[in-house]
Structure formats: structure tokens, C-alpha cells
Structure 1
Amino acid sequence: MELFITKLLGIEDQNIKIDNLFDAGTHKEILAHLDYDAPPCPACKGQMAKYDFQKPSKIPYLETAGYKTLIRLKKRRFRCKGCRKMAVAETSLVQ
């Protein structure tokens, strides 16, 4: 089901996982999260660890079957084990 929805909406990022989909009457909402393995730290090049998720971003998306679509995307945060700096997961879906 999830693969069908991502293909229908044209979401190419394989790291975005859809949690729920519902009709809010005036628009459709997709609840999703962005998660992947921890990257190296951009500051010190040390190892980062998964930390938690941010508050969901509201991403207005295309209109589907006459309804506007809103994606509420929670992005994973990472924290460096060495320098303790934080980073947020990135995707081409959001600037």
C-alpha cells in the first residue's frame, strides 16, 4: 500500500515512510516520517547517532482527485557522539 501511495504521488525518496493517510474533508493529509542510517558529522567527521524526530513539517503537495494534499513529515535528528552537534535528515522533497 505504501509503495502504491508514494508512486501515485511521485515521491522518489525511499527513506520516506508513510504512517497514515486520512481525509480531512477539505483536503487529504499524509502522515510520514523521514529516517535513514546516521551519516558522518559534517563538523568533525565523527560518528553521529539517531536522536529523535522533529515536530512534523507541513508540506503542501499537489492536488489529487480534486483535493489538496498536505504531507506532515517528521524528520529524524542526529547528534554527533564526539562534538555533540545536531543535524536533521534531508530529502529532495523539502528545501
Structure 2
Amino acid sequence: MPTKAVCCPVEVTLKVIGGRWKVLIIHNLLGGAMRFNELQRNLTGITHRTLSRQLREMEMHQLIVRNDFNETPPRVEYSLSPLGHSLKSILFVMDEWGRKYRVGTK
């Protein structure tokens, strides 16, 4: 079955950052580079496998940069790329909207 072509810009954005974890990963990385276990601790409920998959997808979409230090024991850090940082204003607007929505629905 052929996949549907994505042509709406909003749909493209949701395809890249959609899902439960990607926005939360980006939010965590706005403060600077983090190691895998640090991210996993901050993202309560995410499994090792899911975090690995999400990070790989985000790296493929060029939202994050994986820095492997080639050390023993292995040390890898993840940080936002310039493209990932460009989502900062979108996240802040989403945060503002969520706060207003939460207050309005109580």
C-alpha cells in the first residue's frame, strides 16, 4: 500500500515532531547537551528502546546531533542542531496554549 504524500506544512511538522516523546526530548535538550541516561531519567516512563528509536529518528530528521566521544567507557551526548533549536518558539507557543487551555477546561 503506497504511503500518502505529505503536502500540508503543518502535517510535515507533525510528522517530524509528532508523538508522545519527541517534543519532550526537544524541551529537555533546550537546556544543553545531555547523555542518554540523563534524558531517560528526565523522561519518566520512556523505555530504553523507545528513547533510542526516538533519538535515531530525530537524528535522521537533523533535529539533534549525536556526539560520540570515542572514550572508554563510551560517552555519547545529544544536543539540538540549529534546526532543532528553531523549534524553540513553536514549543513556547504550544506551552502557552496548553496553559490557557488547561485553565479554561477546569
Normalised by the size of structure 2, how large is the TM-score? 0.21
Give the helix-richer structure, 1 or 2.
2
Normalised by the size of structure 1, how large is the TM-score? 0.23
Give the strand-richer structure, 1 or 2.
1
